[in-house]
């Protein structure tokens, strides 16, 4: 049973980048182009400067990390709910949730520090 769950979670994580990038396809067909222009946003995907390019890459990576975090939280919660009160399985699920939470905190802190340093230098 746990192998099936593992493969399901991995399938979701493999397909998740398609969801992340889906918003970038066909903005004219979805009306996003007009909405973005009304909001004063640029219609260029990668920007014109190297800084904008790197910033967009960081946004994509952070989005993927968020999807991985969500997947780990769902996996840990599912494991906890299906543990049937067995202490060993409950502890494993708690460890998964705790590790995911610590990971997202570390990534958020690293982003905040990097943002602060870059804003201070420019």
pLDDT tens by residue, 64-110: 888 899 999 999 999 999 998 899 999 999 999 999 999 999 988 88
Do 5 and 78 contact (CB within 8 A), yes or no?
Answer: yes
The rounded distance, in Å, linking the Cα atoms of 68 and 47 is 26
Q: Say whether pTM exceeds 0.85.
A: no
The count of domains in the chain is 1
Nearest alpha-carbon partner for 16 in 79, 68, 91: 68
Question: Which percentage of the chain shows pLDDT scores above 70?
Answer: 72
DSSP 122: -
């Amino acid at each position: 049973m746990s192998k099936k769950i593992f493969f399901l979670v991995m399938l979701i994580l493999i397909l998740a980048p398609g969801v992340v990038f889906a918003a970038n396809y066909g903005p004219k067909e979805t009306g996003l182009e007009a909405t973005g222009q009304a909001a004063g946003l640029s219609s260029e995907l990668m920007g014109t400067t190297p800084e904008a390019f790197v910033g967009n890459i960081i946004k994509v990576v952070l989005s993927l990390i968020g999807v991985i975090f969500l997947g780990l939280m769902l996996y840990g919660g599912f494991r906890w709910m299906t543990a049937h009160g067995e202490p060993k399985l409950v502890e494993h699920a708690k460890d998964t949730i705790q590790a995911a939470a610590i990971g997202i905190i570390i990534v958020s802190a690293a982003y905040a520090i990097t943002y602060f340093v870059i804003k201070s230098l420019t």
